[in-house]
Chain A
Amino acid sequence: MSIIVFGGAAQFAAVGYVMGGFSWAGVVLLTAFLNARHLLYSAALAPYLADRPRPMRAAMAHFLTDEAFALAITHFRRVGRADLWGYWFAAIVTTFIPWNLATLAGVALGGAVPDPSVFGLDVVFPAAMGGLAVALVSGRREVVAAISGAVLAVAISLAWDPAAGIVAGGLLGPLLGLAAPGRPLGRAYPESPLPLADPEFAGRALEAGEGADGSERPRDDE
């Protein structure tokens, strides 16, 4: 399951569902629901990868997880273009291999594995996701999108379901962000790899994007 599905939340949930006697159809349906947030990740990365061969994009898609997205989008934004080695490193070296090794260790060692929460390791995921969100903030719109996404995610998670909350936060947060005052549309952000004024450039032009040396770029609202 760690190789075929490669989706932490869905795998944990599936274990609970199977143990609880859910039908397979129910498990599959809930898996699709839990993993629907990957649509957002894929859409956000698409502009960077538009000129890559389709088979390569198809292969990259299988390894697209929360962690791979977070690391890749931050890296792409920082270097100003799609960096394939960066993506594969984030997706496979830092995520896929450790996830599967840890799965094997769990199967082999079972109860001998100490509870990671004793060491505070369960906070690594939210801290890393939050830290990477901060790293992506370069202006008022990102701030509004991030805060509103977080608030909506919590509210809808508590009212309905965490998977729905995360998808709703990811979908609606950017809408609220767009409503915030920012640079006028059609003018490229200084740090943006996407030359919004010229859609022809989107994709291929990322290779020649600004900030390819990884230097700090001015903030949106400075």
Chain B
Amino acid sequence: MSLELIPLAVLMGLVTYPSRAVPLLVSRVERMPPLALAYLRLVGPAVLAALAAANTVVRVETLADGTRDVSFHVGPEWPAVALCLALVAWRRNLLLGIVAAVAVVALARALSLG
């Protein structure tokens, strides 16, 4: 196993940690205005929806030269994720939604639809 990339991993960790830690360590919640608290309350739904949408609709491929090709993707993931959202909203059961989504995608691919 090559160890030559460990310093790179350390550098990557060093630039990642502040983004995870700074708000947790320096924020003074008791002094934040109500508007800021209301804003933070909405970050969760917004960023999770952003992650879900981007990972469903946007396809990223790393090319041989290291550059990335970003493209719009249409596939069975769309109805699968939509089904998951509907099931979570209806039954409040995330596991059920995920299982259904996986089943839809697996079935579509087995039928060469995606």
Contact = CB atoms under 8 A, between A and B. Distances in A.
Given A10-B12, A14-B8, A31-B12, A170 B24 contact: no
Contacts of A60: 24
A42 B101 contact: no
Contact of B80 (A32, A46, A120, A158): A120
Contacts, number: 334
A46 B8 CA distance: 29
Interface string A12-34: 11111111111010011101100
Contacts of B13: 4-6
Which label, helix, strand, loop or mixed, suits the secondary structure of the A interface? helix
Contact size range, B: 35 or more
Nearest to A202: B29
A128 B48 CA distance: 9
Contacts of B56: 123, 126, 130
B105 A192 contact: no
A77 B62 CA distance: 37
B4 to A, nearest CB: 10
A13 B69 CA distance: 12
A49 interface: yes
Q: Which 3 A-B pairs have the closest CB atoms?
A: A20-B66, A173-B46, A169-B50
11 contacts: A20-B62, A20-B65, A21-B65, A47-B40, A131-B88, A134-B89, A145-B45, A151-B53, A158-B70, A174-B41, A199-B33
Interface of A: 1, 4-7, 10, 12-22, 24, 27-29, 31-32, 35-47, 49-50, 54, 57-58, 60-62, 64, 66, 69-70, 73-74, 77, 107, 117-137, 141-143, 145-154, 157-158, 161-162, 165-166, 168-170, 172-175, 177-178, 185-186, 189, 192, 194, 196-197, 199-200, 202-203
